[in-house]
Amino acid sequence: MEIKDRDHKFLSALKAVYSSVSSLPKASNPLEARKICTQHIRKAFELTDIQIKGSEYLPYEKNTIFIYNHLSNHTYYTEDEGFQITLDSHFISSMILDKYYKNSGVRVVRHSLPEEDNHRNYYDRLQYIRVYAKNFVPDEIDPTKIKSVNKEFYPKAIKHLSEESGLVFSPEGKSHPTGDSPGIFRHGIFKLASKMDPQPLIVPLVMANFDQLASKVTFKCEIKPPFRMKDMGITDKKNPALPKAVAKLNRQYKKWVNDLLKEEKGFESEILTLEQRIKNKESLENLVVFYGSSTIRLWNSLEKDFPNLNTLNLGFGGAFIGSLSQQFDRLFTFKSPQTIILYLGGNDLSLDWTAQRIVADIKNLISKIHQKFPNTSLINISIKPSLERAQQLDKITQINQLMKEHAEHTPFLKQIDFFELLVRQIKKEPPYLLQDGLHLNHLGYSLLKNALKNHL
């Protein structure tokens, strides 16, 4: 087993999480303890490679149940005398719930065994919902007490949800390596969601690689579309169809985990999908093609928004400027589109490049497009403001200004100032961004449609 410097640093950071929480006074406010825990967990994961996909599926509702496939920790990440901070559940609380909802939510944790002082000291400070878990039950405890204590889970969970707090729960009740995950789902959380009125949303979180060393993998979390039990035809916890519905979700989860685990670097699967979309396009006459990252990819109403235009959406999630350049020969295959619309540079902000470097890449791609399609009009949409990238607004403004100046001296190029349009709306109610503070909702796309309409 090769342990690298990154692994040492990550373990040290996890030990800091453990000591900062377990050393708090017993009478500490649990909300303060959770805040301290969250801050230290974020610092720890800054030392690793992480990937969060599907943030556009996060619901606005805070009283949501987040289920996940529970992964074992690597044995190296042991903080104190056999105690391990569960990486996946801590990641969810700190990197998903706290980040997007400003509330790390409540987790469900097993009761500590009598000899597990470190486990008890840590979780007593956080005061999550406690249950007795199979294989972690003291020999001398009365079985009726186990049943009684575990029954208390339902009213406690309902109380937390009613207080606008997210609930983080693994339906398996035990952890597995990623490749064997998930195990068999138990029915408790689904019965709880079925009997509540109104039913809460359930958000599946697909976890991968948290059982590996940080130096060897990217820790991955993919957020899937939320659902309610009634979407599965279940409106009563005693519905005989519930076990079958849960088993179906369990099988789907296995596929999700395998897909996330096998996912290749780069965008090959998405590019193949886009190539097929091009082949399936009935007419390529007077084509208006949209290129860019998830802001374009998620524009599901594009054809409806421009019914009189022959539009084609070739956006793909996570796309960098360089991604389009690398896939140029596969995605820019037309004879001569009428118009090409670009949304570029948002993801490149994560590369810590200067505004000048990003603008140079945008200009190079635009020049490459113009060389191939000299008679095609080009429209570049300015990078939008977002809560997710609030710390980079100055750089975004600089990029947009440089591109505006470039467009003023480039006859075939127009720059759409979507930034200023959205700034005026972003703090209003209802919101123009999804819960992740990054992607547009239907109102945001309506605004973008109107910004483009006069230029098409």
Alpha helices in 373-424 (DSSP H): 393-408, 418-423
78-87, 314-323, 401-410: range with highest mean pLDDT: 401-410
pLDDT tens-digit readout, 168-227:
999 998 999 999 999 999 999 999 999 999 999 999 999 999 999 999 999 999 999 999
Answer whether residue 1 shows pLDDT above 70: no
Q: End-to-end CA distance of the chain, in Å?
A: 59
Q: What is the pLDDT of residues 5-53, one digit of tens each?
A: 999 999 999 999 999 999 999 999 999 999 999 999 999 999 999 999 9
Structural domains present in the chain: 5-262 (3.40.1130), 268-453 (3.40.50.1110)
Using DSSP bridges, classify how beta strands 106-110 and 167-169 pair: parallel, antiparallel or unpaired. parallel
Binning pLDDT at 50, 70 and 90, where does residue 264 land? Answer: low
Determine how many CB atoms are found less than 10 A away from the CB of residue 99: 18
How far apart, in whole angstroms, are the C-alpha atoms of residue 96 and residue 434? Answer: 14
Q: Which two tokens stand for residue 219?
A: 């820790």
- Mean pLDDT in residue range 387-391: 86
- Of the candidates 371, 302, 389, the one whose C-alpha atom is nearest the C-alpha of residue 341 is 302
Q: List strands edge to edge, sheet with 129-131.
A: 50-53, 219-223, 202-208, 65-68, 167-169, 106-110, 129-131
- pLDDT for the residue numbered 308: 95
Res 425: pLDDT = 84
Assessment of whether the complete model's pTM goes beyond 0.85:
yes
Arithmetic mean of pLDDT, 129-152: 81
